[in-house]
Amino acid sequence: MIANNIFKAIGDFCTNVLFAPFNGFRFLDNWWTSNIINFAFIAVFFVLLAYWMRESIKFKKEGTEDLPK
């Protein structure tokens, strides 16, 4: 019963606290402003992808990528 209460508390926290700002975005009339959070996530994704690709190229040039153990 205690584990059930913990998971319910986590679910309530996520629904009522973490996702509360998204309820404001749901009812906006303008499509661009309602999707601004999606654009932010996409921008962060591309920045992290570019960083990962630069690091991958750096390790490949150094010859330290996938060294046998």
Residue 46 lies in a domain: yes
What φ, ψ does residue 65 adopt, rounded to 5°?
-80, 130
- Cα angle value 33/38/41 (rounded, 5°): 135
Residue 68 lies in a domain: no
Domain interval for residue 13:
2-62
Residue 67 lies in a domain: no
* Segment 11-52, tens digit of pLDDT: 999 999 998 888 888 888 888 888 888 999 999 999 999 999
Residue 29 lies in a domain: yes
The pTM of this model reads: 0.63
Residue pair 36/28 in contact (Cβ under 8 Å)? The answer is: no
The pLDDT of residue 23 is 83
3-state secondary structure (DSSP) of residue 68: coil
Q: Where are the alpha helices (DSSP H) in the chain?
A: 2-13, 20-26, 31-34, 36-62
Based on the structure, what is the number of domains in the chain? 1
Task: Place 54 in a pLDDT band, splitting at 50, 70 and 90.
Answer: very high
